[in-house]
Structure 1
Amino acid sequence: MSHLINFVRIPALAVRQHLLPLRPLHLLEEDCLRLRVWPNDIDLNLHLNNARYLSWMDYGRTHLLARTRLLEHLVRERWTPLVGAVWMTYRRSLPFMARFTLTSRLVCWDEKWFYLEQTFEGGEGLAAVGWIKAVLRNPKGNLDPQKVLERIEPGIVSPPIPEAIAIWNELTREKLESRE
């Protein structure tokens, strides 16, 4: 049922953003969505299915793009957002019908990648956290994150890349290079 998010909720968000824009956020602010685990979200254990976490994260990132005013540039310029890697950690279950909050934020960027953090908080606390490495592309190739973000906020500077993300990048690089 992830098609409900991909083919209904995300396009509806883009249309809504065009007609009645969401309250804007600064590029480094958190965006919080209050959601619920519905019947189409659960697995045989009657909790949020691990694949649905990723689907909700897609929606959360799109919502963040809308709130930070990047979505209008994506649509107008026909940029394609692509996920390069996801690192998920699950801490506790989100059971059927549970309310939860999905928080999304841009952590930092480098010459190629945007790094985002997305957390799921339920009634008992942190349920899961995901880190995403994403790129924006146009027909000519990857876009420089700094130039993209300066369209929204001239002079913005990336926060330092956290050590955990640097280690993640190195582990990924080692694995990819060992397969070439």
Structure 2
Amino acid sequence: MNLYFRLFWLFIWRIKHCNNIGFLDTSTIKFRALPSDCDVNFHLTNSRYAAFMDLARTYMMAEMGLLKKFIKLKWMPIVNASEFTYIRDIKPLERFWIESKIVGWDEKYFYLEQRFMTKRGLHAIAHVRGVFIHKRKQVPLDELLTTVGFDEEQPILPPEMQQWIEFLKVKKEQNI
């Protein structure tokens, strides 16, 4: 239930007062780990990381000035794959922030990195692969880039992202 409140707060307040960032810039949003976000081990439960990442990606689109445009176009973001590396736990009532950025794309997907941070340092890194869907069809990446006004050189995906993409291809091939 508290994530609904956070989503409501995001749309009503935070988006109206967010920064303006470029398409490849890093977005940062702050949260506090409430007791209801934590599990019996007294730390942020694993399932909350993905939920907070959804909110952070929504906020990132708002900071880029794209959220209203995508809603108007009826483009829906869809996560195709994600992977998490947990480094240290986030304690109850601890303030943390999520740094989100687009690290690149290929012919079909775009790729993001999201980092969970506190004053104590890095807590988790997650990679996300996604697409935008409109009327049950994928929005072509060239159309997406034109719509967002991105006409710079495409960034080179980091080596760890390239390895993850290869791993996802192998998983798919072995399970068809």
Matched residue, 1:10: 7
TM-score (norm 1): 0.89
Residue of structure 2 aligned with 1:113, choices 109, 116, 133: 109
Matched residue, 2:45: 49
Larger deviation, residues 142-151 vs 54-63: 142-151
In the alignment, is residue 177 of structure 1 matched against residue 167 of structure 2? no
C-alpha deviation, 1:80, in angstroms: 1.2
> Measured at CA, do residues 17 and 158 of structure 1 come closer, stay the same or move farther in structure 2, by a change above 3 Å?
farther
* Runs of 5+ unmatched residues, structure 2: none
Once the two structures are aligned, what percentage of the paired residues are identical? 30
Alpha carbon RMSD of aligned pairs, Å?
1.8
Contact 1:89 1:128 in 2 (8 A): yes
Distance 1:154 1:27 in 2: 7
C-alpha deviation, 1:11, in angstroms: 4.7
Q: Equivalent residues in 2 for 1:93-132 (5 A)?
A: 93-132=89-128
In the alignment, is residue 23 of structure 1 matched against residue 23 of structure 2? no
Residue of structure 1 aligned with 2:153, choices 154, 157, 163: 157
C-alpha deviation, 1:144, in angstroms: 2.0
SS of the aligned residue for 2:68 comes to helix
Matched residue, 1:147: 143
TM-score (norm 2): 0.91
> Measured at CA, do residues 35 and 140 of structure 1 come closer, stay the same or move farther in structure 2, by a change above 3 Å?
closer
Distance 2:87 2:175 in 1: 31
Distance 2:21 2:45 in 1: 30
SS of the aligned residue for 1:107 comes to strand
> Measured at CA, do residues 11 and 77 of structure 1 come closer, stay the same or move farther in structure 2, by a change above 3 Å?
farther
